[in-house]
Amino acid sequence: MEVGFLGLGIMGKAMARNLLRNGFRVTVWNRTLSKCQELVSEGASVGETPASVVKKCKYTIAMLSDPSAALSVVFDKDGVLEEISSGKGYIDMSTVDADTSSKISEAITKKGGYFLEAPVSGSKKPAEDGQLVILAAGGKELYEEITPAFNVLGKKSFFLGEVGNGAKMKLVVNMIMGSMMNALSEGLCLADKSGLNPQTLLDVLDLGGVANPMFKLKGPAMIKGSYAPAFPLKHQQKDMRLALALGDEHAVSMPVAATANEAFKKARGLGLGDHDFSAVFEAVKGKGSSGDA
Amino acid sequence: MEVGFLGLGIMGKAMARNLLRNGFRVTVWNRTLSKCQELVSEGASVGETPASVVKKCKYTIAMLSDPSAALSVVFDKDGVLEEISSGKGYIDMSTVDADTSSKISEAITKKGGYFLEAPVSGSKKPAEDGQLVILAAGGKELYEEITPAFNVLGKKSFFLGEVGNGAKMKLVVNMIMGSMMNALSEGLCLADKSGLNPQTLLDVLDLGGVANPMFKLKGPAMIKGSYAPAFPLKHQQKDMRLALALGDEHAVSMPVAATANEAFKKARGLGLGDHDFSAVFEAVKGKGSSGDA
Amino acid sequence: MEVGFLGLGIMGKAMARNLLRNGFRVTVWNRTLSKCQELVSEGASVGETPASVVKKCKYTIAMLSDPSAALSVVFDKDGVLEEISSGKGYIDMSTVDADTSSKISEAITKKGGYFLEAPVSGSKKPAEDGQLVILAAGGKELYEEITPAFNVLGKKSFFLGEVGNGAKMKLVVNMIMGSMMNALSEGLCLADKSGLNPQTLLDVLDLGGVANPMFKLKGPAMIKGSYAPAFPLKHQQKDMRLALALGDEHAVSMPVAATANEAFKKARGLGLGDHDFSAVFEAVKGKGSSGDA
Amino acid sequence: MEVGFLGLGIMGKAMARNLLRNGFRVTVWNRTLSKCQELVSEGASVGETPASVVKKCKYTIAMLSDPSAALSVVFDKDGVLEEISSGKGYIDMSTVDADTSSKISEAITKKGGYFLEAPVSGSKKPAEDGQLVILAAGGKELYEEITPAFNVLGKKSFFLGEVGNGAKMKLVVNMIMGSMMNALSEGLCLADKSGLNPQTLLDVLDLGGVANPMFKLKGPAMIKGSYAPAFPLKHQQKDMRLALALGDEHAVSMPVAATANEAFKKARGLGLGDHDFSAVFEAVKGKGSSGDA
């Protein structure tokens, strides 16, 4: 099966590589074309532009960093829209808001193409291991056709109905994740200042009802102050912001998420936007360790 | 091995029963003595007062509902203090604040007794299954002597150093748990109002990095509005309050936990204090579903 | 002096009337034209469309309800843009975000027109009394020319520099106002539940360092549950949202405003969006008055 | 009229001096007796101990820094309790929680004395100017007898009913004040980061519906980073904590106050506890001004 793949960031590269390794013929494109070299050496072809990738491939998958990149790849000169046509499918796996998704969907389908939004849950490691969770919505037929690729990229895919629902589900999941990361950060601070061993806290958490892979994976690194970006903080904060905006639209009050979002903002203000989102721990800690009476 | 057991609430009864089933001779006491009957029919003896239990047993374990009950059982007339003496050990597994624990510890050791605080992580189900996590602190020697009982009651025990550390660790864990429960509640509300299936959200969460037993166990019940108390909301809120007070003492700022605590307060105000703490979902939902312009 | 006036909502009508009463010749327009009748009977002329008002008047003032209305009046068919030209000035006194303001400014100046954004601080009563505070930014020359009108509409006007600064200043002020309204609401609840007389709380507040006209004006009405809209809650919440978005842009963490915003969202969810913003008191109260142990 | 006066901190000294200047005979006591010298040179007598002041004076007023000082002055050796008796009145104007007040009240009245709690609203400047607002509760008769002193110390006094109500009213007022100070701090940050002049924000605020003496007095000092303690931050944070505890008791949810409290905690953690409470501005600012991508 032949697929195009647009966007070779942390996630995209791992995903395109998995497709290659599982026998897909993959034509890749990236804004900085030099980033394609590694995958070429593993068997990928290169497209000069998004348009040329779409021209060549029946199915094109995109994995871009944010809504503006997702829009740009479609609508800009040499973009997807120039070559999409009847019989071709475009699958956008970027995490974007529902409005962006709808805009892309309309443009694609107007040209006769098929569109599927399919954001994923999971970051670098699951991407590498083909263990993503795929939240697809839009064209049911395209969903079925692209399932072989989803089977390689993820451990499970959901079809969630109309375009926008994939984006929304992703935001809800990431909002919960962001609040949990704040909860852990506050807990680690409190343990430390109260004379408890933060690593023991992690051990206790891992044995109880709230044990989860994220705490287990990121907790020890947080204690060491190590924040190599699996999921950059600025993207996590963007997702919190979009989730809160979705809540605003529906008059849903979410004070815990809103408070967590402000901590992520503070972390961005501290220059931690490009670190892993677990670096919110630094913002939670503040400088305030000297104590007082 | 013979042990006394004070307090037969949801947790205490399950724990005392596990001791009985594993060959311990157990003498139980409960403020409402009639609640002892069930365990007597399973082989337990009954003590008329905390003092008489301590008189009879070398080791006495207590599992009480809150700091005032924990203090009362020790200091009131016919309390533990009247019979504790050199060579006897008192193990308080209630969740209390560090001050309460210290107060009890001082009184016990002044009389020559040994004291261990040993609050647990885990509620009804782990108590029944002997799968608690035990957070012990205080007398190291007593910790070692009582380990056979801990092996029956829990899957893992930690010795955390000086008295108060068990209480503190417990509070930190429960604080994180309370914030997570709010995060889940907000996510379920947002999913619902945004046209997503809340059960699908649970399915997606359970496949990702934040998958945890609590979401898996309580999520489906929350969707149904079913809140049979495994861990009563008023106790969860008390733990949030005590954790925040611990943070206050050490000048640790924890805005997410503070915000979550206010939601638990709201739930209490709605009369949900005796329901499971997952009933905070009802407070998060509010009445506001009709939408607006 | 002759001015056009677009938008006769609560604020606009009071402002246009003040201009009339102070000797200005005023040509009014409103989306629902029938709303112009009252002012016509007081001496105003009517324009059929925004374009025709601009055609007739050298200076046109707009006072619209939100960014989309502000954009629509300029860019839609028969809009301001069709007749704005060299020598004409357009003064937008609506509360909008800086982006909206910039968009309008660019379009107007491209056509040779002068643009001033001039949102106001103050709602119904100050509008009626000509006691608004005017936050102008953009064309300095136009600011000076329109000052006679500002002197009638407000007690003080500021010139704040480049376009967008008026909008931003307005948002900062309203954000503070929204947080204060929440603070008062929480205080009134706490007084009431603690057995204190809420009116006495208002009396005490009015004698102290935090005494302010808003508490004095709205407090007694809030106690009575009376929320006739001087400044509709949905507009206040919109301003909180925009202020938080401005903070997001600059990585400013504002947890108190974020938390207050969630309370306004809850109030919207309760169907209070069209009531005065002081109705957030109802959301703060919740239903939770029965208390618990 | 003769009165005793216990406690010569920032507030107490100003108050005792006002009594002296208005013809009262005043016998002062302070833990650090040397602090009495200044008032002695203005005509005060000195008592060696709280007990000796009470022995000498029919009415004794206390103004102490916190609940533990308030309790200590009454219950410790050489304390008020040793000399209070039938016909003598004790007026505690410290800001304490209702429990502390009740404890003192019970002890005093048991000895036959009269008790009035009378915390004040207003800090250093109003204390100096005799412009405090006095929140009295407890003995109605004593309230009437001491009114001449209240008339000198304050511009208005309220009688609020049973003991505890003065303390509670004070906490509610200070909670609102603390939330407002956070609102102002966030607004000043947002203005600054958004390219607006913070002083202009203060000017705009002072012309609008939220204009209040606190913003006017403290705002300009905050911009300069000047926090000479009129009301120390650690006391403000203590009052937030006590107000939240009062809310907890009555199941009142106050997310804005809770969030503001966490900011005060952060400020304490930064070592600002002895600065004016407006120093919370520093905690709100954080270090995060460098911005990010």
Q: What is the DSSP letter of C12?
A: H
CA distance D142 to D163: 12
The pLDDT value recorded for residue D288 is 39
Residues of C tagged active-site: 170
| The domain boundary residue, chosen from A97, A129, A161 | A161
Percent of chain B with pLDDT over 90: 91
CATH number at residue B149: 3.40.50.720
Mean pLDDT of the residues in chain C: 94
Does C291 map to a domain?
Answer: no
Report which residue type is found at D282: E
How many C-beta atoms lie closer than 10 Å to residue A100's C-beta?
22
Dihedral in degrees, nearest 10, Cα atoms C257, C260, C264, C269? 120
Task: State the pLDDT confidence band at B292, using cuts at 50, 70 and 90.
Answer: very low
Within C63-201, strands assigned E span 89-92, 114-117, 120-121, 132-138, 154-159
Nearest to B120 by CA among B134, B136, B138: B134
Can you read off the two tokens belonging to residue A110? Answer: 């107007």
Is residue B107 pLDDT above 90, yes or no? Answer: yes
Helices C255-269, C233-249: crossing angle, 10 deg rounding: 150
Helices A98-110 and A67-75, interaxial angle, to 10°? 10
Q: Is A13 exposed, middle or buried (0-12, 13-18, 19+ CB in 10 A)?
A: buried
| Residue ranges in chain A whose pLDDT is less than 70 | 287-293
CB–CB contact A286 D270 (8 Å): yes
How many other β-carbons are positioned within 10 Å of the β-carbon of residue A160?
Answer: 25
Does A28 reside within a domain?
A: yes
By Cβ distance, the residue of A209, A254, A291 closest to B251 is: A291
For B62, the token pair is 């207590």
Shortest Cα–Cα distance, B285 to chain C (Å): 9
Q: Is the pLDDT of residue C78 over 60?
A: yes
B120: left (phi over 0), alpha (psi -120 to 50) or beta: beta
- C-alpha closest to that of B13 among B53, B52, B64: B64
Mean pLDDT (chain B, rounded): 94
Whether A257 is in a domain gets the answer yes
Predicted confidence (pLDDT) at residue B61 exceeds the cutoff of 90: yes
Please compute Rg for chain C using Cα positions: 20
Please say whether the beta carbons of D201 and D223 come within 8 A: no
Say if D293 falls within a structural domain: no
| Lookup: tokens for C137 | 């930014």
Contact A120, A141 (CB under 8 A): no
- pLDDT of C46 reads 97
Same domain, D48 and D145: yes
Structure tokens at B139: 């007398």
In this structure, are residues B215 and B153 in contact, taking their beta carbons and an 8 Å threshold?
no
The verdict on residue D119 lying in a domain is yes
pLDDT tier at C39, thresholds 50, 70, 90: very high
C155 and C231 fall within a common domain: no
Degrees, nearest 5: CA angle C139-C140-C141: 90
Domain limits for position A172: 168-285
CB-nearest to C180 from D183, D262, D284 is: D183
| Average pLDDT of adjacent 10-residue blocks, chain D of 293 residues | 96 97 98 93 96 98 94 97 96 90 96 96 91 95 97 97 94 97 98 97 95 97 96 94 95 97 96 97 74 34
Task: Record the tokens describing residue A88, joined without a space.
Answer: 């071709």
Residue B182 region, left (φ>0) first, then alpha (ψ -120 to 50), else beta?
alpha
Same-domain pairing of A190 and A145? no
C-alpha Rg value of chain D to the nearest Å: 20
Q: Based on the number of CB atoms within 10 Å of its own CB, is B290 exposed (0-12), middle (13-18) or buried (19 or more)?
A: exposed
- B20 shares its domain with B157: yes
Residue A213, number of CB atoms within 10 A of its CB: 16
- B165-193 helix and B233-249 helix, angle to the nearest 10 degrees: 120
Beta strands A132-138 and A154-159, pairing class = parallel
Q: Do residues B197 and B156 share a domain?
A: no
Residues B177 and B275 in one domain: yes
Positive or negative torsion for Cα C167, C172, C173, C175: positive
Q: Closest chain A residue to C234 measured between Cα atoms?
A: A251
Q: Please state, in angstroms and rounded to a whole number, the distance separating the CA atoms of residues D204 and C174.
A: 11
d(CA B276, CA B226): 9
In whole angstroms, give the CA distance from residue A131 to residue B162.
Answer: 44
Q: C188 and C255 share a domain?
A: yes
| pLDDT value, residue B287 | 59
Residues from C contacting A (CB-CB < 8 Å) are: 237, 241, 245, 247-248, 251-255, 258-259, 261-263, 265-266, 268-269, 273, 283
| 3-state secondary structure (DSSP) of residue A253 | coil
Q: Tell me, what's the pLDDT at A123?
A: 83
List the CATH number of the domain containing B254: 1.10.1040.10
Residue A293 lies in a domain: no
- HSE-CB for B278 with a 13 A CA cutoff: 20
Residue D291 has what pLDDT? 35
Q: Which residue of C has its CA nearest to B234?
A: C293
Domain boundary, last residue among D105, D130, D161: D161
Q: DSSP E strands: which ranges in chain B?
A: 2-6, 25-29, 45-46, 59-62, 89-92, 114-117, 120-121, 132-138, 154-159
Domain count, chain A: 2
- Chain C CB contacts of A259 under 8 Å are 255, 258-259
CB < 8 Å to D190, chain C: 172, 175, 243, 246-247, 250, 252, 254
> CA A207 → CA B21, B121, B224, C265, distances in Å?
24, 9, 27, 38
The arithmetic mean of pLDDT across residues C108-131, rounded, is 94
Judge whether residue C292 has pLDDT over 80. Answer: no
Q: Which of D115, D138, D161 is the last residue of a domain?
A: D161
Taking only the tens place, the pLDDT of each residue in B219-238 is 999 999 999 998 899 999 99
Cα(first)–Cα(last) distance of chain B, in Å? 68
How do residues D52-97 score in pLDDT, each as one tens digit? 999 999 999 999 988 999 999 999 999 999 999 999 999 999 988 8
* B154 and B176 housed in the same domain: no
- The b-or-e profile of A69-92 (16+ CB within 10 A means b, else e) is bbbebbeeeebbbbbbeeebbbbb
Answer whether residue B290 is part of any domain: no
Residues in A whose CB is inside 8 Å of some CB of C read 237, 241, 247-248, 251-255, 258-259, 261-263, 265-266, 268-269, 273, 283
Pairing of strands B2-6, B59-62: parallel
Pair B68, B156 in one domain: yes
- Element (DSSP H or E) covering residue D154: strand D154-159
Comparing CA positions, the residue from C106, C111, C83 lying closest to residue C162 is C106
Say whether A247 and C241 touch across the interface (CB within 8 A): no
Nearest residue in B to D254, CA atom: B262
> Which residues from chain B sit within 8 angstroms of residue A205, using beta carbons?
173, 176
Helix (H) or strand (E) holding C102: helix C98-110
C154 and C175 part of one domain = no
Determine whether the interchain pair B266/D251 forms a contact, defined as Cβ–Cβ distance below 8 Å: yes
Same domain, B13 and B109: yes
Q: How far is CA A80 from CA A111, A157, D252, in A?
A: 11, 25, 55
Kindly state whether residues B11 and B121 are assigned to the same domain.
yes
In whole angstroms, what separates CA C127 from the centre of its chain? 10
CA atoms within 13 A on the CB side of D178: 36
Rounded to whole angstroms, the Cα distance separating A66 from A97 reads 9
A75 within domain boundaries = yes
DSSP letter assigned to residue A276: B
Distance from C-alpha of C20 to C-alpha of C1, rounded to nearest angstrom: 10
| A260 to chain D: closest CA residue | D259
